[in-house]
Amino acid sequence: MSRSYLPHWMHWLGSPPNFYRFAGAWRPWLMAAALIAGAIGLYGGLVLAPPDYQQGDAYRIIFIHVPSAWMSLFIYATMAVAGLIALVWRVKLAEVIAMECAPTGAAFTFITLVTGSLWGKPMWGTWWTWDARLTSELVLLFLYLGVIGLYNAFEDRRRGARAASLLALVGIVNLPIVHYSVQWWNTLHQGTTVDFLDPARSSIAPSMLWPLLVMALATHLYFFASLLGRTRTGLLSLESGKQWVRALVDGQPERTTGAPT
Amino acid sequence: MNEGRIGRSMPAAKAGMAGACIALLRRDFVLAWRRRGELFLPLLYAVIVAALFPFALGPDPELLARIAGGVLLVIVVLAMLPALESMFRADLEDGTLEQWLLAPQPLALLALIRVIAHWLTTVLPLIVVMPLLGVLLNLPVKVLPVLIVALLLATPLLALLGSVLSALAAGARRSGILMALMLLPLAVPVVIFAAGAVAAAQSGMPYIAPLMWLAAALVLAIVLAPLACAAALRIAVES
């Protein structure tokens, strides 16, 4: 069966040694861009943006909290898509990418919960409440931990990756629940303030919105940079017996295999 | 082994789809009956845990009545866990699963039959003793029917979810606590709706809506979970 509907560079990039070099070339640039965007976003959010008329300066935690929360959903979706590719087409690289998404996603979910809890103490008067949004975000953290745990419970790492990918796909039902929880259940967590589909419905001042978006950009860039780095390490340890890794360790120039035509 | 003899006792003419399902159900029932002592262990566990609550919280009848519904649901979820974990393990070890993959019947159907047999043999007895535990924890008698209906909808849903996770964990080295880590997040909505129905009935509010949600989720799970379970079994068998 021909697979001509995929461009050639995708096949080229799917090969571990090629991806290893591609990721190594892109990672420093992405990381630098993430640091610059993060610095601009934090300066804009912590210094330039005006204090809130009700919350004063305490609201500024949203510049960490909201981008982290977006990332916790975005990374899960990325992991599930990579997991689907790994399950359907048995692409080794997709397995590694899906599994390397999980720790970063769990970290962002954890940051979301901690920052939300720090903000909740002065604002709501409680560290934690069994609100729908909070509970579903906590379930998301457990799903990440379940994926990591299942992956590490297998002797054969490729089988573990496929099993954990399937678990990630099953858990994707939680994503719409997290996202719509503030609309479905009218509990303590506030509703959506940034609406990308209908900007007129957004209820955030432009002076607070732009640092938030820059921070979101920074977290995305950081995630991709860290994913590339993690995937490089994952590929090295998965392919440790292979010729290209041995050549890399010995310091010999690698033979390029099938450069794009 | 008993399995071989049971397999041979089936007439060859019944090799169709229904025949395979009946044969599988019969095999699971016979195996469960041969180890009927094990079937009582989850019941014993549920009774002991339910008895611990009055010891820990004090025998105040009103307090017990208030928490009884939620406590019983959590006990059922926890009592289901150990049996769910080993749903496919023995079959993976003795090669039965490979025969499932080779069988002309769809793997998802066989997985669904296994879930049905599992539910009938290990979970149904738990539901049968729940009224007794409810009375023990001072749950009002008028709430018991709602609790039973909620359990009849929630436990098959949990068994279906658990079958997927059990198939995923079947090939893993160790899966005891892993199963809990994977199942409990997915069980959260089920527990919320089932406990919501019981709590609503207890305070005299309409309790149909959460039961309807459970029923809808169960219908979805009956269709989707066996497919996911079949995919997970394929991963477990092939190396």
Q: Measured between alpha carbons, how far is residue A158 from residues A164, A231, A235 in Å?
A: 10, 14, 11
- Which of the two residues, B207 and A181, has the higher pLDDT score? B207
Mean pLDDT, residues B117-143: 91
What ipTM describes this predicted complex?
A: 0.79
- Give the separation between CA B47 and CA B75, rounded to whole angstroms: 9
Select from A143, A159, A174 the Cβ nearest to the Cβ of B235: A159
Backbone phi and psi for residue A52, each to the nearest 5 degrees, phi listed first: -70, 145
Mean pLDDT, residues B103-110: 91
pLDDT at position A4: 62
Cβ-based contacts of B238 with chain A (< 8 Å): 159
pLDDT digits (tens, 9 = 90+) for B133-150: 998 888 888 899 999 999
Q: At what angle do helices A174-184 and A132-152 cross, to 10 degrees?
A: 170
Give the pLDDT band (50/70/90) at residue B4.
very low
* Short-list B186, B83, B204, CA closest to B142: B204
State the alpha helices, DSSP H only, in A90-190: 92-124, 132-152, 157-170, 174-184
Picking from A155, A170, A172, A173 by the largest number of B CB atoms within 10 A of its own CB, the best residue to mutate is A170
pLDDT digits (tens, 9 = 90+) for B28-57: 999 999 988 888 889 999 999 999 988 898
Q: Which two tokens stand for residue A150?
A: 């299942």
What are the contacts of B121-125 at 24+ separation with CB within 8 A? B121/B28, B121/B29, B121/B32, B121/B39, B122/B32, B122/B39, B122/B42, B122/B80, B122/B83, B123/B76, B123/B80, B123/B155, B123/B156, B123/B159, B125/B39, B125/B40, B125/B42, B125/B43
CB contact under 8 A, A154 and B173: yes
CB contact under 8 A, A150 and B228: no
Whether the predicted pLDDT of A114 surpasses 70: yes
As beta bridge partners, residue A52 has: A56
pLDDT at position A225: 95
Give the pLDDT band (50/70/90) at residue A133.
confident
Q: Where are the domains of chain B?
A: 38-237
pLDDT at position A39: 95
Cβ-based contacts of A177 with chain B (< 8 Å): 189
pLDDT at position A199: 66
- Give the separation between CA A109 and CA A144, rounded to whole angstroms: 9
Mean pLDDT, residues A36-52: 89
DSSP string, B127-162: HHHHHHHHHHTT--GGGHHHHHHHHHHHHHHHHHHH
pLDDT at position A201: 67
Q: Any idea which of A190-204, A231-245, B53-67, B223-237 has the lowest mean pLDDT?
A: A190-204
Give the pLDDT band (50/70/90) at residue B5.
very low
Residue of chain A minimizing CA distance to B165: A167
CB contact under 8 A, A171 and B186: yes
Give A 135-154 residues with CB within 8 A of chain B: 135, 139, 142-143, 145-146, 149-150, 153-154
Reduced to 3 states, what is the DSSP secondary structure of residue A52? strand
Select from B164, B185, B238 the Cβ nearest to the Cβ of A139: B185
- Percentage of residues in chain B having pLDDT higher than 70: 93
- Give the separation between CA B10 and CA B6, rounded to whole angstroms: 7
Give the pLDDT band (50/70/90) at residue B229.
very high
pLDDT at position A222: 96
Q: Any idea which of A87-91, A120-124, B7-11 has the lowest mean pLDDT?
A: B7-11
Whether the predicted pLDDT of B192 surpasses 60: yes
pLDDT at position A233: 92
Q: Any idea which of A11-15, A98-102, A109-113, A194-198 has the lowest mean pLDDT?
A: A194-198
Q: What is the mean pLDDT of chain B?
A: 87
Give the pLDDT band (50/70/90) at residue A254.
low
Between CA A185 and CA B162, with CA B213 as vertex, the angle to 5 degrees is 105
CB contact under 8 A, B185 and A160: no
Cβ-based contacts of B231 with chain A (< 8 Å): 87, 166
Interface A–B counts its CB contacts (< 8 A) at 65
- Give the separation between CA B14 and CA A162, rounded to whole angstroms: 36
* Short-list A4, A2, A85, A18, CA closest to A258: A18
Mean pLDDT, residues B91-114: 91
Q: Where are the domains of chain A?
A: 37-49+60-250
- Give the separation between CA A96 and CA A234, rounded to whole angstroms: 6
For residue B82, which amino acid is it?
P
Q: What is the mean pLDDT of chain A?
A: 86
Q: Which two tokens stand for residue B156?
A: 């098959």
Cβ-based contacts of A174 with chain B (< 8 Å): 185
Scanning the structure block, which residue is given the tokens 């909290």?
Answer: A65
pLDDT at position A191: 72
